[in-house]
Structure 1
Amino acid sequence: MDEYGTRGWSGFTMDAVARRAGVGKSTVYLRWPDKDALLTAAVTNNGMGLTAVDTGSFAEDLHQLAVNMLRYFHGTVGWASLRVTFDCASSPERLGDFADAVTEVHGRQVEQICLRAVERGEMIEGFPSGALTEAIYGAAMVNSLSYRLERRDDDDHDIETRAGHVVSMVLHGIAAKDPQPR
């Protein structure tokens, strides 16, 4: 993931991965037949580092998810997954299965949060979890980009505050008991 985060799809090669790992290229090819298979495995394995969120509260689940995503995108693996997203979006042809792996890893978490929230009566039934994913993840992505552009370091207080703002905005639109009738 470090190699992909640094070079993106166009510069990502099996040879470069082998060099970075300090092994021969044949060692890498024994395990993965091509760079798509290697990257798909890396995304799947590293994406599992995102801890599942289940605090018992929809608002707290969303807050913790937002905090996790902000921290994730500020790290090497998160930055690489952003590169995957940008590379796939800008390519005229399908690049490989690795992009689907990124989407699946992140989408599953939000879907589980939504299912539990509906069961507890904290979220309206039928609201598409994909829209919630876009809101939380989109905010985390933009935050990560602005941090990189401004060359800022991570700050836990800032991350907690930003997560709180995002969740507050999201909840007013999809909470089961909306204080503002529409």
Structure 2
Amino acid sequence: MAASPAGRPRDPEVDARITRAAAEVFGAEGWARFSVDAVARKAGVGKASIYLRWPNKEALLEALFASRLSGVRDIDTGTLREDLVALARQVLHAFLDEAGGSVLRLMLEVESIPSGQEHLDRFLQSQATAARAIVHRGIDRGELRKDTSVTLLLDTISGGALNHALVAPARLRAEVARRADRYAEELVDFVLASVATAE
């Protein structure tokens, strides 16, 4: 078994501050201008603090993806509406929080980013798997018609949430993020009004 490293244990708050700064730098600057120097300045730590944790910027980016782009969790609240609201909220927050720009950068620059395709595929697959499970449970419980198009329903909700996040002007982004949970409810109610089974 490998020996534990000597010295003080790593501070998880510093780790989180560094990966948050990495998300902001990567989202704003892209891979070409992503550097340990820039992340250290953004995080307010010395470069040595980063190099003690990650040997290079590739490893730092890997840590960013692992911690901030973990994917969409499976959701089962017991009702279709609440499941879809939770899904819409996850999508909105994925693009509106401080790591949101990094998700977009990953989508735009995926071919030039180390392990980028792997991380993007994992993120999108987790969303698709969780989302499809939600709709199939809704059909099984009789909350949706059996002929409901799973793809169209999810494209409408996930696509609506994504578009809402993407078109938010920079000056209103904080307000849009603050109202994201309520918007998720409004979006889901609007869509379900046209597809849910009649009581």
TM-score band by shorter chain is 0.5 to 0.7
Q: Distance in 1 between matches of 2:125 and 2:71?
A: 14
1:164 pairs with 2:185: yes
Q: Which moved more, 1:37-46 or 1:53-62?
A: 37-46
Q: Which moved more, 1:145-154 or 1:67-76?
A: 145-154
2:75 aligned residue: 53
TM-score scaled by structure 1?
0.67
SS of the aligned residue for 1:163 comes to helix
For the Cα contact (< 8 Å) 2:132–2:150, is it kept in 1? yes
After the TM superposition, which parts of structure 1 deviate over 6 Å for at least 4 consecutive aligned residues?
none
Q: Distance in 2 between matches of 1:63 and 1:94?
A: 34
Deviations 1:5-64 (A, max 9, x none): 22223333466556656445765664x8x73x7545533432348554322110121122
1:138–1:8 distance in 2 versus 1, CA, 3 Å: farther
For the Cα contact (< 8 Å) 2:36–2:47, is it kept in 1? no
Q: Distance in 2 between matches of 1:133 and 1:7?
A: 31
2:95 aligned residue: 73
2:155 aligned residue: 134
Say which one has the larger Rg: 2
For the Cα contact (< 8 Å) 1:172–1:178, is it kept in 2? no
1:64 aligned residue: 86
Which consecutive residues of structure 2, in runs of 5 or more, have no partner in the other structure? 1-22
1:117 pairs with 2:138: yes
Deviations 1:87-137 (A, max 9, x none): 34xxxx575323213212322321231232233122345756444443223
TM-score scaled by structure 2?
0.62
For the Cα contact (< 8 Å) 1:147–1:153, is it kept in 2? no
For the Cα contact (< 8 Å) 1:118–1:124, is it kept in 2? yes
Q: Distance in 2 between matches of 1:11 and 1:71?
A: 25
Amino acid at match of 1:99: L
Percent identical across equivalent pairs?
27
Q: Distance in 2 between matches of 1:105 and 1:98?
A: 11
Amino acid at match of 1:111: R
Match of 1:12 among 34, 51, 61: 34
Shift of residue 166, structure 1, vs aligned partner: 1.6
Amino acid at match of 1:151: L
